Amino acid sequence: MKRIGVIVLLHESNTFLPFPTKLQHFQTNILVEGDEVLEVFRGSQHEVSGFIDSIEQEKDFRLVGVFAARSMPYGPIETACWNELMRQLSNAIDKYGPFDGLLVAPHGATVAENASDADGTWLEIVRSKVGLETPIIGTFDLHANVSKKMVDATNALFGYRTNPHLDQYQQGTIAGKTLIRTLLGRIAPKQFLVQLPLCINIERQATAEPQCHRLIRQAEHRVATSPGLVDISCVFGFPYADVQEMGASVIAVAENDLSIAKEAAIAIAAAWHDDRMSFIGELIDLPAAVEQALAFRKNDAVKPVGLLDMGDNVGGGGPGDGTSVVHQWLLDGKGKILTVIADAECVKLCERAGTGSTLELSIGGKSSPSLHGPPIVGIFRVRHLSDGLFVEKGVTHGGYSDFDQGPTAVLESDNGLTVIATTYRVGPMSIQQVLSQNLDPNEFSAIVIKGVHAPVAAYAPYCGKLIRVNTNGVTTADLNQLVYHNRRVPMFPWEDCQLDI
């Protein structure tokens, strides 16, 4: 039987966040090897589950877990942590090899203190360990900052096509089936990368909206009408990683002929560059967002308005304790408002006090009050306490099923504010974050959601309207508020430039 190894390293690194990602962040999320790699992802909507299902249904192939590390988006991975991850990865390849082929899942926007192109670095290590003849095929995030090193170290890479990311399982399946065809000698995949001089504003990265939909339909049409072309990935990039590779890119994969992949990638990249003006962010400030929410509530008082806090986007590395939207609502809004805030200290105080107790609290605003807003100070009643565990059975962003936000307290104030205070940061990928706390979304006029696109699949059915709010913070959509030192120049939208291929 042909042995196929699975290697996973997932971290979205926000270089504007002054807090490094440490080994403990991976240890409390995922850091496993061997059979545990397969078991931790099995049965989910993740791409690795797609790897598993596509290979295990083939009788002549055996899937082998090698190494998996995942942590929530945060600051760059500190040097000691990165070195340890690379040591474990290298040892695991030696321990569980040899392999006839490999399926890999890099994020694509990972940055370490001592490896700015971290995904390219670890993929190069894998390639050096298994040799040039072993096919390496994998997936990557739609927000990847794809590097030449990543492409050179692999035979074929397939990016997510949707944002929110609802197709991870399908892309993992495509990668698995492509590896099978390769090992059976039916194809010899070739890929071509075009790095565009474009930084795509996070606010414009919803794939259902016209600017993205238009681009993706062009790519799909090209694949459907081009014999020998397997796939085209239109990659939006992660603007919160200040590295040379930051920006949009196109990868085309052909069955055998590099010229087919090259022609397709260049054509789609040129079309994207020509349409670049439609990818400039449309920003709504806090007062305007609250005004829009109140106007909507006059016409539809049944469902709440979802206020997407783009500056404290947990899925982009935001600290999750921002308060600026709440403060604006309490100043200008009308009706009850719900927010989720990561504040372990606050949760501990509530646990000591117990359910039903009343106490004065200072909630959130601790990581960076000048950026994300000062703490919310007031008298709160502890409405509910829980362990913070919940399960999402549907298909939502990220392919996650099991969530752990740690001990959790639901707090109520007389001014209409309800806070779900959590011990750990958890992105708003599941409405179960609310429902599991015995809360009904329809209790509220507004819900603060700390994300941009990731929460849409989870929250759109429960909100009458979603408004992306241009708040300050380490994930602000206003790119002019971020100071870059390492990005390419020229790059749109800061400088206008031509596509040079």
Half-sphere exposure of 233 (CA within 13 A, CB side): 34
How large is the average pLDDT for residues 301-306?
89
Q: Above pLDDT 70, what percent of the chain?
A: 99
Q: How far apart are CA 181 and CA 415, in angstroms?
A: 62
pLDDT at 104 over 90: yes
Minimum mean pLDDT among 151-160, 185-194, 226-235, 389-398: which range? 389-398
Task: Quote the pLDDT of residue 394.
Answer: 76
State pLDDT tens for residues 254-283. Answer: 999 999 999 999 999 999 999 999 999 889
Q: What letter represents residue 298's amino acid?
A: K
Q: How far apart are CA 74 and CA 58, in angstroms?
A: 38
Structural domain boundaries in the chain: 2-279, 286-477
State pLDDT tens for residues 466-493. Answer: 999 999 999 999 999 999 999 999 999 9
Q: How far apart are CA 312 and CA 470, in angstroms?
A: 10
pLDDT at 410 over 60: yes
Q: How far apart are CA 60 and CA 232, in angstroms?
A: 29
Q: How far apart are CA 17 and CA 371, in angstroms?
A: 11
State pLDDT tens for residues 59-89. Answer: 899 999 999 999 999 999 999 999 999 999 9
Task: Quote the pLDDT of residue 393.
Answer: 83
Mean pLDDT of the chain: 95
Q: What angle do CA 316, 317, 322 make, to 5 degrees?
A: 105
pLDDT at 297 over 70: yes
Task: Quote the pLDDT of residue 259.
Answer: 98
271 CB-contact burial (10 Å; exposed 0-12 / middle 13-18 / buried 19+): middle
Minimum mean pLDDT among 389-403, 439-453, 460-474: which range? 389-403
Classify domain 2-279 by CATH number: 3.40.50.2300
Q: Which segments within 71-187 are labelled E, that is strand?
A: 101-106, 136-140, 156-159
pLDDT at 40 over 70: yes
Q: What letter represents residue 474's amino acid?
A: V
Identify whether the C-beta of residue 149 lies closer than 8 Å to the C-beta of residue 108: no
Q: How far apart are CA 78 and CA 470, in angstroms?
A: 30
Q: How confident is the model at residue 233 (pLDDT cuts 50, 70, 90)?
A: very high
Task: Quote the pLDDT of residue 368.
Answer: 85
How large is the average pLDDT for residues 364-379?
93
